[in-house]
Structure 1
Amino acid sequence: MFICVKLMVAIGVNQLSDILGTKKFWEMRMGTVHPSYRRKGLLPELTKRSTVLAKQRGIEKLVACQTYNKALVEPSKMDGFEVIRHIELKNYLDPVTGHKVFSGMKPPNDVQVLIAKTLT
């Protein structure tokens, strides 16, 4: 978990309002589906419902961090989300140890991406 937090900091999660150009954003975190329930449209449905709720509350952007290269490989399947930043995990240096702790990561989980969707 600690390394996940450091990755999110490295990609810019602590400066989201500056990166996104607004303070009116919602973060979608840890969107995972148990393997037994995958391919049933659960995560897209959660994203749709989050979009509706966010719009009702005057939120301007939805933002998420994910370790998955589909955002870079198949942007047409991103439902309006755009890649704002990305880090190739093989190049990530842990700031404490100085080691490349993710050097063995293989596609599709070899990239950390920050994605955002404009709602207005």
Structure 2
Amino acid sequence: MASKTELTYRLLTDEDLDRVIKFIQTHFIPFEPLSAAANVKAEEEKEFPHILIKNSLWQAASIGAFDNSTGELCAVRVNSLGKNNDRLVPEDESMSTAKMHKVQRILRAIKGGMLKNVVGTENYMEHIFVSVNQAYAKRGIATELYRRSELLANQHGCKKLIAICSNSYTRRSTEKIGYKLINEIKYDNYIDEVTGEKPFANMKTPHSTISLVVKTL
């Protein structure tokens, strides 16, 4: 098993698309609290996460960690740049399931509008996905991906870093590296604007809120 020093970090490109999609389907969707609570199944989604990843990889802002001994992709940080929003392919919600629509609606709610208006600039980097293969957990890989993303953000002229924390672990880790809370929704208070239900009221502990956090560079 590789240690941190036996990993190679590099920019992800369009050529990595299929590999990154498979990684997110395997190592992110089954474990992410919102997807799990909504019973989202990767194999049922024709649009998610394909379009988000495809929109991100060409921007030279996403990073993968690879095991030197096997070449295996073991972690990803998928990012998107606010200045490129006008060039992104819109998501087609008709290609997603009703379960995914519930997740998408709470994500829109926590953003509170267009991010460039929320943070006061289009020069931001939004963290879309961070995921680590559990076989490589507790080695500081996620923290290293955040650090490298910040360096990339500076190279792209970004003034803000933005992340949505759907679980308590991500919230704590972002706080430790300087992210500040700008919006928060308690899962047991959130009412879906379409169904009128509380789809995430039974979220498993310790996940009690979804948060929008920002770091100023």
The one-letter code of the counterpart of 1:90 is: D
Q: How does 1:1-120 map to 2 (within 5 A)?
A: 1-12=100-111, 14-70=113-169, 71=171, 74=172, 77-119=175-217
How far off is 1:91 after superposition?
0.8
List gaps (5 residues or longer) in structure 1. Answer: none
Q: Helix, strand or coil for the counterpart of 1:99?
A: coil
How far off is 1:56 after superposition?
1.2
List gaps (5 residues or longer) in structure 2. Answer: 1-99
Separation in 1, partners of 2:180, 2:173: 8
Separation in 1, partners of 2:179, 2:165: 12
How far off is 1:31 after superposition?
1.4
How far off is 1:13 after superposition?
5.5
Q: Is the contact made by 1:82 and 1:117 (CA closer than 8 Å) also made in structure 2? A: yes
Cα-to-partner distance string for 1:39-97 (whole Å, 9 max, x where unaligned):
111111111001001101110011011112353xx588530111110100111111111
**TM-score, structure 1 normalization:** 0.86
Whichever of the two has the greater Rg, that structure is: 2
Relative CO higher for 1 or 2, CA cutoff 8 Å, sep ≥ 6? 1
List, as ranges, runs of 4+ consecutive aligned residues in structure 1 with deviation greater than 6 Å. Answer: none
Q: Helix, strand or coil for the counterpart of 1:31?
A: strand
Note closer, same or farther for the CA distance 1:56–1:76 as it changes in structure 2 (3 Å cut).
closer
The one-letter code of the counterpart of 1:18 is: N
**TM-score, structure 2 normalization:** 0.50
Q: Is the contact made by 1:69 and 1:113 (CA closer than 8 Å) also made in structure 2? A: no
- Number of residue pairs the alignment of both structures matches: 117
Separation in 2, partners of 1:68, 1:46: 18
The one-letter code of the counterpart of 2:106 is: L
How far off is 1:14 after superposition?
3.6
Separation in 2, partners of 1:82, 1:62: 10
Identical columns (%): 33
Separation in 2, partners of 1:33, 1:85: 26
